[in-house]
Amino acid sequence: MMAGVWLMGECELNDCEIDGGKIGVKQGVLVKRCRFLEESGCASVCVNSCKIPTQKFFIEDMGLPLTMTPDYETGECQFSFGLSVSPASEFDAKNTPCIGRCPSAGGMRKWHEGGDSTCHMMEEDNNE
C-alpha cells in the first residue's frame, strides 16, 4: 500500500466487485486523486500509458485479474483485483472523450490510434 501512495497518491483499501458477481472484501484499492491522471490531464494518456499496461502486467505477469476504472471528473481510480477485464469496459475506456483540461487538445488520442497527428507535448525539437 505504501508504494501505491508514493506512486499514485493517497489510497485506501475497499470492497469491490470480483469475478462471479461477488464482492471481494478489501480486494480493491481506491486511488483518491491519481497523480498520473492529474499530471497528464489527458484521458488517452491515462488509458494507454497506465490503465491498459498495468492491467496487462497484473494479468499476464502476476496471474491476477485486475480492472482499473478511472473517474475523470474526480481524478479517482478504482483498482478491482480479482475482476477480469471485460471487452465492453475496454471499448468504453478506449473511446472516452477527451477531458476539457487535456493539454494536447486531443492530439494524444490521434497519436495512440496511429494517426498522423502527434501530441504537441511529444513533438521532437527540430532545432538541434
pLDDT in tens, 43-73: 888 888 899 999 999 999 999 999 999 998 8
- Is the alpha carbon torsion for 26, 30, 35, 36 positive or negative? positive
The 10 Å Cβ neighbour count of residue 91 is 9
Residue 88 DSSP label: H
Residues 49 and 57 sit within 8 Å (Cβ to Cβ): no
Residues 68 and 51 sit within 8 Å (Cβ to Cβ): yes
**Higher-scoring residue by pLDDT: 107, 28:** 28
